[in-house]
Amino acid sequence: MKTVIYYLNQFFGQIGGEDKADFKPQVVEGPVGPAIEFNKNLESGEVTHTIICGDNYFNEHEDIAKQFIMETYDELKPDLVVAGPAFNAGRYGMACAGVANTLKDKTTVLTGMYEENPAVEQCRLHSYIVPTGDSAATMRKAIKNMVPIAEKLLKGEEISPEADGYFPQGRRLTVFSEKIGARRAVDLMLKRLNNEEYETELPMPKFDKVEPAPPITNMKEAVIALVTTGGIVPEGNPDRLQSASAQKWVKYDVSDLDELKGTFITVHGGFDPVYCNAKADRVAPLDELTRLTKEGKIGGVFKYFYATTGTGTSVANSEKFGQEIGKELYEAGVDGVIMTSTWGTCTRCGATMVKEIEKFGIPIVHMATITTISESVGANRIVPTVAIPYPVGDPSLKSKEDHLRDELVERAIRALSTDVASPTIFKKQ
């Protein structure tokens, strides 16, 4: 009997919810959660062990988590590794992608994700990804679609995206044809000219990169706008911003405020709100921009603060929000923008908005914890932040937290004044 190791996050691993997102990786014997259903339907193998790790822990301690995955594989040497399915959960997806990329030279990894999960592009080349719905409501169907592929992989049978229904891996394969290339090319052209259905033999990848905007040359006179996908709104959420899958963005006049603390909270449904609600500037650092204005390091803060909720928000809506906000900022003559994001799909939403805003020629920096998502989506200026619930802060540092926050935002300002040619991560100097 072939052996299978199954990877799950803390929720599906039955450890707990968001309060256990920092759960350190551990391995247990036998199948757990979705792995039970998967194992029940599997004929050619058996789930012998389950690895469980918190979403935040994997993404914030990636090197340690990957080392654990590798050591577990080396000890157990399974014939197949299965992860997820992660649906549209960005953090979970990135963890599943991390498993796939860690083991790409060791074994085969099978997972499942929604097409808009930012992790799809992270591991498409190194794993077999079964398309799923956007939520765990489609779990049963996802498992049903994953098992037949697992059977073929364990048996060493040939599979293909067309026949087996996984995302294409971008591999070019050698095939034999009865017609030479010239004849096939003419046939294809004739079909196009006659408006007949046709299928290209060489689909090209889509590249959606944005030319980096020029840096700010005179920061002391620059007006900086603050935007977040962290769901930051005034207490009471007067505009009823959605906690997930946002359908709109909101803006608020902060010209009379030095900080968001005491007035703003988060309605974001993807992370523990405790630390943000105590001090919303840990997610959207208005207080730091106020400080820099008073110190004469920037010219001022734009009067309006912009927010949406990034978790589960579609790419189409993210693009729309970025275009609309970018147009406003451009017409107002804003010199630069700081965008902050929290968890997985929230970061994808933020990075997508970043690109749309930058298309107006406005330099913008993305402050996010899961920088791999930001970079893969195409943000040009990226500052790594602390943790998903408090990207621009760390309440555990207590009296030393302000020093950390000063450095992070000043690094973002440095990014806005630096010329870049492609996605660039600005690390602590």
Write out pLDDT tens, residues 171-225: 666 667 788 888 888 888 888 888 888 777 766 555 578 999 999 999 999 999 9
The residues of the chain scoring below 70 in pLDDT are 170-175, 202-207
CATH of domain 2-164: 3.40.50.2300
Q: Are 264 and 232 in contact (CB under 8 A)?
A: yes
Instruction: Find where tokens 């995302």 sit.
Output: 167
| 252 phi/psi in degrees, rounded to 5 | -140, 145
Residue 412's pLDDT is 98
Q: Are 293 and 301 in contact (CB under 8 A)?
A: yes
DSSP, res 5:
E
At 61-83, the pLDDT tens digits run 999 999 999 999 999 999 999 99
Residue 182's pLDDT is 85
What CA–CA distance (Å, rounded) separates 410 from 318? 27
What CA–CA distance (Å, rounded) separates 140 from 185? 43
Residue 171's pLDDT is 63
At 290-325, the pLDDT tens digits run 999 999 999 999 999 999 999 989 888 999 999 999
Beta bridge partners of 128: 110
Strand order in the sheet with 26-29: 26-29, 45-53, 2-9, 80-87, 109-113, 128-131
Each domain of the chain, given as residue ranges in start order, spans 2-164, 219-425
Q: How many CA atoms lie within 13 A of 85 on its CB side?
A: 30
* pTM strictly above 0.85: no
288: tokens are 């730091």
